[in-house]
Amino acid sequence: MPVRSAATRWRYRVPCMPVEATTPSHGRAVRAAVLAGAAIRIGYLLTKWNQPLRLNDSYYYSGQAYQLAHGRLFRELFVDQPGAGTAR
């Protein structure tokens, strides 16, 4: 049913679902999913921590991270050129 506000605009009242009926179970499910994902990621990290890099993209990405950490922003790893056409 329309209700007039102080600024004479029409607003409609929308019936809402009760918060207590939906929030607790949804919040528990989200919390459980986040905790499970974090546990899987931490377990993966702990098992891979001391393994050497394989000959694949990991060398490239590690080199890029090293360059960024040392102030060489957006440069190609194997040739001394900008990493993108717009980078200088």
In a domain, 8, yes or no: no
Q: Give 82 or 42, the one with higher predicted confidence.
A: 42
In a domain, 10, yes or no: no
Q: Give 17 or 29, the one with higher predicted confidence.
A: 29
Total number of domains constituting the chain? 2
Residues 60 and 84 in one domain: yes
All residues at 6 or more sequence positions from 6 whose CB lies less than 8 Å from its CB, including other chains: none
Residues 67 and 81 in one domain: yes
Per-residue pLDDT band for 4 (boundaries 50, 70, 90) equals: low
74: left (phi over 0), alpha (psi -120 to 50) or beta: left
User: Which residue range forms the structural domain that includes residue 37?
Assistant: 21-51
Residues 59 and 88 in one domain: yes
pLDDT value for 48: 84
pTM score: 0.41
In which residue are the tokens 């394989």 written?
54
| pLDDT tens-digit map of 32-67 | 999 999 999 999 989 988 888 777 787 888 888 888
Per-residue pLDDT band for 87 (boundaries 50, 70, 90) equals: low
In a domain, 5, yes or no: no
Do 82 and 73 meet the contact criterion of CB atoms below 8 Å apart?
Answer: no
